[in-house]
Structure 1
Amino acid sequence: MAACGAAAAEYSALLSLPCGPITRRRFAVSCRARPPGNLREMAWKRDDRICEAYFACKGAKESDVMETFLKLTKQVGGLADVVTGLGKALQTKGHLVEIVLPKYDCMQLDQITNLKVLDVVIQSYFDGNLFSNNVWTGTVEGLPVYFIEPQHPSKFFWRAQYYGEHDDFKCYSYFSRAALELLYQSGKKIDIIHCHDWQTAFVAPLYWDIYATRGFSSARICFTCHNFEYQGTAPAPDLSYCGLDVEQLDRPDRMQDNAHGRINVAKGGIVYSNIVTTVSPTYALEVRSEGGRGLQDTLKMHSRKFVGILNGIDTGTWNPSTDRFLAVQYSATDLQGKAANKAFLRKQLGLYSEDASQPLVACITRLVPQKGLHLIRHAIYKTAELEGQFVLLGSSPVPHIQREFEGVADQFQKNNNIRLILKYDEALSHCIYAASDMFIIPSMFEPCGLTQMIAMRYGSVPIVRQTGGLCDSVFDFDDETIPVELRNGFTFARTDEQDLSSCLERAFSYYSRKPMVWKQLVQKDMQIDFSWDSPASQYENLYQSAVAQARGAAQT
C-alpha cells in the first residue's frame, strides 16, 4: 500500500512498501535520470532490510506490492503515532510496507537505522524545470523508508523546522510529484497509495491526470484527512507548479475551494481518491455538516466512498508493564506500581501531599484553541477548589497563548498542588500517564484523540467533552443507556465551565467515596483493546475492496 500524509503540527513523508502497511512519513520524489530497472536494483541491493521485509511476506509477488505515502512527524501531534502504528499492524498481517518521505534537515537521525544514500539521482518536474533529488534509505521501527533530498534552490525541507513556512504549498506539491515519480520509475506494481492530509493530497490528481496516462495505473488511492481544519488552499495558479492543469482543476466539482474561490488540495484528495477516510466514525458525521469547514457538500457528494475509522495506539510503546520510562512498572492485576509512580512524580515535580490518595488530574496537550483552552484553565482552578492536584504538560505554537499559560504557571509556582510544565517532554509524559488518576480532554472538536486511549491504558480515567473520536472511545459511567461493560469514563456535552465542573465533581465523588468502584473502573479501562489490530483490519478490507473493483474493471 502506499500512503501519503501531512498535518499542521508534523512533518510529511511518503511510505512505499510491497504488499503492505502504512508508516508515518510523507515523501515525494521524481525519477527520470535512470531506467526503472536500474533504480530498483540499486535501491534493493543497497538496503538488505528492504529485501528481508519483502521476502518475509509469504508468497509475496510483484503484483501484490502495496505502496504508502506517509508523513513522519515529530512528537507534537498524533499523526506520527498513527502512521507508524497502522504500518506495523499491516506489516504484521503479512503486507510489505515502504515509506518515502522528505529528508528534513531537522530529523531525529537516531531513530533511523542503517541510513545511507543510494547511488542514484531522481529528477522531478517543478515549475517548468527538472530538479535532481538524492535518495536515502533506512528503517524506522522496522519499516523500510526512502528519504528524498531535493536539490532545489529554495532548499525545500532544509529550514530547521517541519512545517509552517510561507511556501508550504510549494514544498509539498514538489514532494508529491517527486514521490510519484519515484514510484513510477521503480517499476513496482502497486496496489494502494494512501495519502494523509492535504500535504500529500496532491498525489491523487497527479496520479490520475498524469501518471495513469503513462501506464502507471495499477494502484488505487486512499486519502485520509486527520483534521479538516487544515485543507491546503492557495491561489489557483500555484497548482501549476507541480504540473497540474489549472484550467481543468479550478472548477467547483474538482479542486476549486467551496468558500474562497481558491484551489483546495484536500478537496482534490476527496474528489480524486477511490477511498476517503477520517479518523473516527463520529468525526465523519460531524464533517458532513459545519465540522467540514466548507467541505461538507463535497463530502456529502462523495459519501459512498467516505468512512470514519477510529485510530488505535501502539500498545507496545504504551504499555505500563514494560514502559522503560516508569519508576515502577505495573499492570491491571497489580496496581501497586501505579501508586509508586504517583509518589515518584510528586517528588519529581515538587507536589506535596499528606494524603497519598489525593486525586491527581492530568492534561497532556498542545495548547491551541481546538483543545478548549478556557476549559483547561477552568479545570486547573476547579481541581484546586476540589482539593485535588493538577499537572499540565504541553506548549503552544501561538506566542500569546504560551505567555498566558506562563502567567498561570507563575500564579501557582508556590502551590503544592498545581504544576504547569510548558514544553514537550516524552519521558515525562509517560510518567504523568502512569501517575495520574484522571485525565482531562475538554476539546472544542477532536477528530480522534489518542491521549484518552493512552490514559486508559495506564489506568487514568478520562474526563472528556463529547465530540469526535472522544464520543467513540469514552462512555459515561453514569449513562444508563450504555451497557455497563462499555462505561469507562466521564463525559460532558457543552463548552461551558459549568458542565465541566459538574463532570469533575462526579468523578471526584466516585474516587473519594467509592474506592472499590473506582479501582474496578481503572482495571476495566486498562484492559480495553485500543490496539491497531481492528483499525488495520478495517483499512485492509477497504484496500482489498478497491483493488478487487479495479481488477474486475480491467477484465471487462
Structure 2
Amino acid sequence: MHQGLYVVHIAAEMAPVAKVGGLGDVVAGLGKALQRRGHLVEIILPKYDCMQYDRVRDLRALDTVVESYFDGKLYKNKIWIGTVEGLPVHFIEPQHPSKFFWRGQFYGEKDDFKRFSYFSRAALELLLQSGKKPDIIHCHDWQTAFVAPLYWDLYAPKGLDSARICFTCHNFEYQGTSSASDLGSCGLDVNQLNRPDRMQDHSSGDRINPVKGAIIFSNIVTTVSPTYAQEVRTSEGGKGLHSTLNSNSKKFIGILNGIDTDSWNPATDPFLKAQFNAKDLQGKEENKYALRKQLGLSSAESRRPLVGCITRLVPQKGVHLIRHAIYRTLELGGQFVLLGSSPVPHIQREFEGIEQQFKSHDHVRLLLKYDEALSHSIYAASDMFIIPSIFEPCGLTQMIAMRYGSIPIARKTGGLNDSVFDIDDDTIPTQFQNGFTFQTADEQGLNYALERALNHYKKDEEKWMRLMEKVMSIDFSWASSATQYEELYTRSVARARASPNRT
C-alpha cells in the first residue's frame, strides 16, 4: 500500500449526525471507505444545535479558539472534536451574534449564504491555525463551494499551500446564487470574482454563483454518477452551468455513489422481522407477511406482488408517475406501499387525498411521513421498487432495494441509468441485467416497465428467485467509488508536486 493521503472533508452534512439528503451519506460513506484504505480522513462540520448528539462519541471542546474574519471584523469560533462512525470530526461553533447554526434546522434560513460562507472561511482558518497540512481538501455542494476561491485567493498565500481542492456537486439544481455584494462578507474580492469567467451567474451581472466558483477554482470536480455528468453538460441538464462544465471538462468526472452496506444489510438488519440473504430467501416472505399484517393489507395470496416506493414527493422524483403507478399496480393485481412526504403543500394535499381514498383498502397503503424503521421493513418486504425520477444525480433507493432482493423499476436517467439494466435488453450482458427500465417520463413509459415486471413475477417463480439472488449479490458498497476517488486524489497531488508553482 502506498503512503496514505491526508484528506479533509468540509461539508454541511454528515450522516447520521446531520443529514438532510444524500450528501450526508456520501461524506460518511466515502470517508469510511477511504479510511479503510489506509488514508487519514477528517471531517469539518458546523456545530448545529439540531444535530443528533447521541451519535457523536467523545464530544469535547478544544481549549484553542479560532478567530475568523467576517463583515470586516474577527469573530471567535469555539472548536469541538468528536468521533462519528469511527471518523474524527471537528465541529465549528461561531461566537457570532447571528447564532448561525443555532436555528433548529440545517438549511432553509434567509441568510444561508452568510451562514455557509462564514463556515467555509472558519474551516480554512481552523486548518491554518492548527498547522494541519492536508493533501486534499474536499468540499461539497454550494454550501462549502466557497472553500475553493478562499483557498487560492487567501489561504494558499498564507502558507496553507499543501492541498489540492476537490469539489463534488451532488445536485446541480441547487447553486446558492446570491447578490454579488454578499460575497464580500467572507473576505473574497467581489470586483475580481464577479466576472463571467469567474463567479458571475449567467442570469445577471450582479448575481454570484458559488458552484461556478468551485468548478473554476478546484483541481478536481466530481458529481455523483457518470450519466449525470454527461447530462449536466447539456443546456437543459446543466441549469446554466453547462458551458462552465464543458470548458473545465478535463477535470470533471462522474463517480457513482455507493451505499453503506453495513446499515443496509438484510442479513443483520435489526429492523427486520426475519433476516435473510441471497442464499436463504425464506426471510423475504416472512417480512412481506409481517408488513402486510402491520399495515392491514390483505395476505390472502402470498404471490400477489408488492410494489414499494420510498421517496420525497417532489417534482424531481416524478410525482405524477408515482400517483399513476399506484392505480396501475392495483389494476394489474398488485399491492402498493408508499412511504414519503412532500415539502410542497399542493403535492402533500393531493397525496393526503389518495391516502384517505385507500385508508382501509386491502391492497394499497400510503404513509406520508419519514420513518426509518418502516423504510427498512418496506425494502425487505417488497418484490419490486418503483423509481420514476425525472432526473436523478445518483439515487440510492435502487441500490438499497436490490440489496434487499427488491427488483427496481426505474427511468433511465442519471445514476439510475448507471445502476439499473433492463432484463429484456439484449444489448446488455446477462450478468448485468437486474431490473426494468423505461425512457420517457410518461404513463406509457411507466406502464411498459411495470407490466413487464408484474408479468415476469407472476409467470415464472423460479426465474424471479434467481433474479433476486442476482441483484442481492451485486456490490454497491463504497469500495469501488473510493478507489476512483483515491486515484483522482493521488494523480492531482503527484501533478502538484511535479510542478510546484502551478496551481
Where on the TM-score scale, by shorter chain, does this alignment land: which range?
Answer: over 0.9
Deviates more, 1:64-73 or 1:411-420: 64-73
Question: What do you get for the CA RMSD once the two structures are aligned?
Answer: 1.3
Q: CA shift at 1:260, angstroms?
A: 3.1
Match of 1:68 among 5, 9, 26: 9
**Number of the residue aligned with 2:426:** 480
1:530-549 superposed matches below 5 A: 530-549=476-495
The answer to whether residue 470 in structure 2 is matched with residue 515 in structure 1 is: no
**Number of the residue aligned with 2:399:** 453
Alignment: residue pair count: 497
Runs of 4+ in 1 over 4 A off after TM superposition: 57-60, 73-76
**Number of the residue aligned with 1:79:** 23
1:415-434 superposed matches below 5 A: 415-434=361-380
TM-score, normalised via structure 2 length: 0.97
Whether contact under 8 Å (1:76, 1:366) holds in the other structure is no
Q: CA shift at 1:353, angstroms?
A: 2.6
Q: Distance in 2 between matches of 1:256 and 1:555?
A: 27
The answer to whether residue 314 in structure 2 is matched with residue 368 in structure 1 is: yes
Matched to 2:407, the amino acid is V
Q: CA shift at 1:83, angstroms?
A: 1.3
Q: Structure 1 unaligned runs (5+)?
A: 1-56
Deviates more, 1:250-259 or 1:65-74: 65-74
Whether contact under 8 Å (1:276, 1:306) holds in the other structure is yes
Q: CA shift at 1:387, angstroms?
A: 1.6
1:166-245 superposed matches below 5 A: 166-245=110-189
Q: CA shift at 1:120, angstroms?
A: 2.0
Q: Distance in 1 between matches of 2:454 and 2:199?
A: 50
TM-score, normalised via structure 1 length: 0.88
Q: Distance in 2 between matches of 1:516 and 1:351?
A: 25
Whether contact under 8 Å (1:65, 1:188) holds in the other structure is no
Q: Distance in 2 between matches of 1:116 and 1:292?
A: 42
**Number of the residue aligned with 1:103:** 47
Q: Distance in 2 between matches of 1:65 and 1:280?
A: 24
Q: Distance in 2 between matches of 1:58 and 1:137?
A: 28
Whether contact under 8 Å (1:123, 1:130) holds in the other structure is yes
Whether contact under 8 Å (2:50, 2:106) holds in the other structure is yes
Q: Distance in 1 between matches of 2:220 and 2:390?
A: 27
**Number of the residue aligned with 2:212:** 267
Q: Distance in 2 between matches of 1:216 and 1:110?
A: 34
Whether contact under 8 Å (2:127, 2:133) holds in the other structure is no
Matched to 2:420, the amino acid is V
**Number of the residue aligned with 2:223:** 278
Whether contact under 8 Å (2:293, 2:299) holds in the other structure is no
Matched to 2:159, the amino acid is G
Matched to 1:275, the amino acid is I
Matched to 2:220, the amino acid is I
| SS of 2:376 mapped into structure 1 | helix
Match of 2:101 among 157, 172, 178: 157
The answer to whether residue 385 in structure 2 is matched with residue 443 in structure 1 is: no
| SS of 1:300 mapped into structure 2 | helix
Q: Distance in 2 between matches of 1:250 and 1:506?
A: 53
Deviates more, 1:70-79 or 1:454-463: 70-79
**Number of the residue aligned with 2:304:** 358
| SS of 1:84 mapped into structure 2 | helix
Q: Structure 2 unaligned runs (5+)?
A: none
| SS of 1:166 mapped into structure 2 | coil
Q: Distance in 1 between matches of 2:492 and 2:257?
A: 21
Matched to 1:525, the amino acid is V
Q: Distance in 2 between matches of 1:188 and 1:476?
A: 48
Provide, for residues 215-270 of structure 1, a one-character-per-residue CA deviation record: whole Å limited to 9, x for no partner: 21110000000000001100000000100000000000000001233100000000
